[in-house]
Chain A
Amino acid sequence: MNESRSLRSERSERLEGFEYAPALESRSVVDIKSSYGLFINGEFVDPGGPDGGRSFKTISPATEEVLSEVAEADENDVDKAVKAARHAYSRVWSRMSGAERGKYLFRIARIIQERAREIAVLESIDNGKPIKESRDVDIPTAAAHFFYYAGWADKLEYALPGNWTNPQSLGVAGQVIPWNFPFLMLAWKIAPALACGNTVVLKPAETTPLTALLFAEICQQADLPPGVVNILTGAGATGAAIVSHEDVAKVAFTGSTEVGRAIAKAVAGSKKKVTLELGGKAANIVFDDAPIDQAIEGIVNGIFFNQGHVCCAGSRLLVQESVAEDVLGRLKRRMGTLRIGDPLDKNTDVGAINSAEQLARIRELSEIGEAEGAGRWSPECDLPDHGFWFPPTIFTGVSQAHRIAREEIFGPVLSVLTFRTPKEAVEKANNTPYGLSAGIWTDKGSRILWMAGHLRAGVVWSNTFNRFDPTSPFGGYKESGYGREGGRHGLEAYLK
Chain B
Amino acid sequence: MEQRAAGFGTRSIKTTAKQFAIDLAIRMVDLTTLEGSDTPGKVRALASKAMRPDPADQTCPPVAAVCVYPDMVPCAKQTLGTSGVRVASVATAFPSGRAARDIKLADVKDAVDAGADEIDMVIDRGAFLSGRYLQVFEEIVAVREACARPESGGAHLKVIFETGELQTYDNLRRASWLAMMAGGHFIKTSTGKIQPAATLPVTLVMLEAVRDFREATGQMVGVKPAGGIRSSKDAIKYLVTVNEIAGPDWLDPDWFRFGASTLLNDLLMQRTKMAAGRYSGPDYFTLD
Interface string of B1-26 (1 = CB under 8 A from A): 10110000011111111101101100
B21-47 CB contact bits vs A (8 Å, 1 = yes)?
A: 101100100000000000000000000
CB A461 to nearest CB in B, in angstroms, measures 13
Complex: A480 Cα to B59 Cα, angstroms: 62
Would you call B12 and A15 a contact (CB within 8 A)? no
Question: Would you call B3 and A20 a contact (CB within 8 A)?
Answer: no
Kindly provide the distance from the CB of B182 to the nearest chain A CB, expressed in whole angstroms: 23
Secondary structure class of chain B's binding surface, majority of residues: helix
Partner of A297, one of B4, B240, B243, B248: B4
In the complex, chain A residues 1-53 whose Cβ is within 8 Å of any chain B Cβ: 1-2, 4-5, 8-9, 11-12, 15, 17-23
Structural contact, A23 and B1, CB atoms closer than 8 A: no
Q: Are B20 and A2 in contact (CB under 8 A)?
A: no
A496 vs B243: C-alpha distance when bound (angstroms): 55
Q: CA of A400 to CA of B255 in the docked complex: distance in angstroms?
A: 45
Instruction: Known A4-B58, A12-B61, A23-B12; judge A297-B17 contact (CB<8 A).
Output: no
- Closest chain A CB from B174 CB (angstroms): 13
Are A18 and B12 closer than 8 Å at their CB atoms?
A: no
Q: Is A325 an interface residue (CB 8 A)?
A: no
B84 CB contacts on chain A under 8 angstroms: 2, 5
Interface 0/1 of B46-59, CB less than 8 Å to A: 00000100000011
15 residue pairs from A and B, CB less than 8 Å apart: A1-B82, A11-B59, A12-B27, A15-B20, A17-B248, A18-B21, A18-B24, A18-B240, A18-B243, A21-B18, A132-B10, A294-B1, A297-B1, A346-B10, A346-B12
A337 in contact (CB, < 8 A): yes
Q: Which of A5, A136, A293, A337 has the most CB of B within 10 A?
A: A293
**Considering the chains assembled together, what is the distance between the CA atoms of A23 and B11 in angstroms?**
9
CB-contact partner of A20 in B17, B82, B83, under 8 A: B17
Chain B CB within 8 A of A284 CB:
no
* CA A461 to CA B221, docked complex, whole Å: 35
Name B209-242 residues within 8 Å CB distance of A: 239-240
Question: In the complex, how many angstroms separate the beta carbon of B198 from the nearest chain A beta carbon?
Answer: 19
Contact A20 B13 (CB under 8 A): yes
With beta carbons under 8 angstroms apart, the residue of B1, B14, B240 that contacts A293 is B1
Q: How far is the CB of A112 from chain B (nearest CB, A)?
A: 20
B288 interface residue (CB < 8 Å to A): no
User: Is there an interface contact between A5 and B83, defined as CB atoms closer than 8 Å?
Assistant: yes
A347 an interface residue at 8 Å Cβ cutoff? yes
Q: How far is the CB of B56 from chain A (nearest CB, A)?
A: 15
Chain B residues with CB below 8 A from A11, complex form = 59
Contact with A along B246-259 (1 / 0, CB 8 A): 00100100000000
Query: C-beta contact mask, A282-302 vs B, less than 8 Å → 1, else 0?
Result: 000000000001100100000
Residue of A12, A15, A23, A132 near B13 (CB, 8 A) is: A23
Q: A: which residues have CB within 8 A of B? A: 1-2, 4-5, 8-9, 11-12, 15, 17-23, 132, 136, 293-294, 297, 337, 346-347
On whether the beta carbons of B82 and A347 are closer than 8 Å, the reply is no
Nearest-Cβ distance from residue A4 to partner chain B, whole angstroms: 7
Do A21 and B13 touch (CB < 8 A)?
Answer: yes
CB distance from B50 to the nearest CB of A (A): 12
Number of A-B contacts (CB under 8 A): 62
- Nearest CB in chain A: distance from B214 CB, A: 12
User: B4: nearest residue on chain A (CB-CB)?
Assistant: A297
In the complex, what distance in Å separates the CA atom of A15 from the CA atom of B251?
12
Contact residues in B for A17 (Cβ distance below 8 Å): 248, 251
**Nearest CB in chain B: distance from A213 CB, A:** 28
**Contact yes or no, B1 A21, CB < 8 A:** no
Give 9 nearest A-B pairs by CB, closest first.
A23-B12, A346-B12, A21-B17, A21-B15, A18-B243, A23-B14, A21-B14, A21-B16, A20-B17
How many angstroms between the C-alpha atoms of A347 and B1 in the bound complex? 19
Instruction: Give the distance in Å from the alpha carbon of A18 to the alpha carbon of B11 in the complex.
Output: 13
Q: Is B192 an interface residue (CB 8 A)?
A: no
Task: Report how far A8 CA is from B57 CA in the complex, Å.
Answer: 12
Chain A residue with minimal CB distance to B13?
Answer: A20
Query: How many Å lie between the Cα of A369 and that of B83 in the bound state?
Result: 61
Out of B10, B23, B61, B244, name the residue touching A136 (CB < 8 Å). Answer: B10
Are A18 and B14 CB-contacts (below 8 A) given A5-B84, A8-B61, A293-B1?
no
**With an 8 A cutoff between CB atoms, is B183 at the interface?**
no
Nearest-neighbor residue (CB-CB) of A1 within chain B: B83
B18 CB contacts on chain A under 8 angstroms: 21
Q: Is B62 an interface residue (CB 8 A)?
A: yes
B208 within 8 A of partner (CB):
yes
Contact, CB under 8 Å: B1 / A18: no
Known: A19-B20, A136-B10, A297-B3. 13 other contacts (CB 8 A): A5-B61, A8-B59, A17-B248, A20-B12, A21-B13, A21-B14, A21-B16, A21-B17, A23-B12, A23-B13, A23-B14, A347-B11, A347-B12
The docked-state distance in angstroms from the alpha carbon of A337 to that of B244 is 6
